[in-house]
Amino acid sequence: MNAAGFTDYYDIDGLLTEEHKLIRQSIRDFVKKEISPSIEKWAQDNHFPSEIVKKFGDVGAFGPTIPTEYGGGGLDYISYGLIMQEIERGDSGMRSTASVQGSLVMYPIYAYGSEEQRKKYLPKLASGEWLGCFGLTEPDHGSNPGGMVTKIEDKGDYYLLNGAKLWISNSPECQVAVVWAKNEQGRIKGLIVERGMEGFTTPEIHNKWSLRASCTGELVFDNVKVPKENLLPNVEGLRGPLGCLDSARYGIAWGAIGVAIDCYESALKYSLEREQFGKPIAAFQLQQKKLAEMITEITKAQLMVWRLGMLKNEGKATSAQISMAKRNSVDMALHVAREARQIHGGMGITGEYPIMRHMMNLESVITYEGTHDIHLLITGADITGIQAFK
């Protein structure tokens, strides 16, 4: 740990500005006060604490990179990454709420929306007055979103929307949904659908063993009349949703490191306190191997996302680079969580420690926003020029 109490084996703090460190500290304090004391209970009870939405707005967790004139933070991508890292250190479900709102709802409205849409929606989303969700995945189209069948028909003064989306974070509690659907020409368009529009429902998905403090549901569109002005005018095709996913995946690449750090710190502390055979278990080589490998992998991932953040600040990060970092961080964090679970022995399966909750959460994180396999194939396609997933 560094002097400020952060796991930082390679003095990555030396690469951060004072502003970055202040932002990180303020989110860390927020998580300690507003999330950590209750998260085990929320997760055990499968409860989404809807009051957290306004609090996230107040602390600046929604849309950190969106310009301030629309209510965003106007911050750089390193700040955004640090915010996601600290929130996910608290819980991946909480980070999901924040990154869906910022990257998958505010970002497309900012990047592809009209000035009227930006002014109407972004300040309310930034402040947490409204919660948004992002509808891309369908029951029969997950890794292959281009196959979507949700459709819009131009009816003159409105679009008629029909179809369904599945596995949508925030959907049961949302006021607005950014939805991707095909028009009569088979082209993918984005629309802003508001709660209250006739024919629009958001049934909740129950019985999850993962992300239990985050609400997940469906979006069902049964002849929904969407006003023409709710179409995102400045994008067409799969590049629309994929652009949003780049931003969210970037946040996950940082966020998962927060989980890994939490698991590592808990395991290190536990191994120094827990005695067996007359000495701390940290004295045994097998436990040291686990801990040493954890901190090595965390450090490699920290350096990777820092460099990716600098590339993003310069507008140079590619989608394939983001895929690599998302995949690496989540896989690394899941491995760290499993090893930490073992170091905690039987205690590791209880809610006394955050490990098992993190581990179960990561089983979603490794699947959503592009699965582990698909991200590997994106790297494969990038380096060979041959797409193996189509």
Note the residues at the interface with ligand FAD (CB under 6 A).
100, 133-137, 142-143, 167-169, 211, 216, 364, 367-369, 371, 373-374, 377, 389
- Integer CA distances (angstroms), 24 to 46, 59, 320, in order: 28, 11, 27
Least distance CB 48 / ligand FAD (angstroms): 12
Between 126 and 174, whose beta carbon lies closer to ligand FAD? 174
| Strand runs labelled E in 229-354 | 275-276, 279-280
- Minimum CB distance to ligand FAD smaller for 65 or for 169: 169
Beta bridge partners of 190: 180
306 or 368: whose CB is closer to ligand FAD? Answer: 368
Residues pairing with 231 in the sheet: 191
Shortest Å, Cβ 250 to ligand FAD: 16
The angle at the Cα of 385, spanning 384 to 388, to the nearest 5 degrees, equals 80
CB of 348 to ligand FAD, least distance (A): 23
| Whole-angstrom distance, CA of residue 145 vs CA of residue 281 | 48
Smallest distance, ligand FAD to C-beta of residue 180, A = 8
Q: Which H or E element spans position 165?
A: strand 158-169
| Residue 376 and residue 325 in contact, taking contact as beta carbons nearer than 8 Å | no
Residue nearest to ligand FAD (CB): 142
Are 181 and 151 in contact, with CB atoms under 8 Å apart?
A: yes
Nearer CB in complex with ligand FAD: 118/165: 165
363 belongs to the catalytic site: no
How are beta strands 132-135 and 176-182 bridged, if at all?
A: parallel
Rounded Cα distance, 111 and 107, in Å: 6
Pick between residue 329 and residue 364 the one whose CB is nearest to ligand FAD: 364
Task: In angstroms, give the least distance from the CB of 310 to ligand FAD.
Answer: 27
Alpha helices in 105-191 (DSSP H): 107-112, 115-127
271-284 in b/e burial notation, b at 16+ Cβ within 10 A?
A: beeeeeeeeebbee
User: Shortest gap between Cβ of 167 and ligand FAD (angstroms)?
Assistant: 4
Cβ proximity to ligand FAD, 9 vs 389, nearer residue: 389
- Interatomic CA distance for residues 156 and 276, integer angstroms: 75
Q: Which residues are catalytic?
A: 369
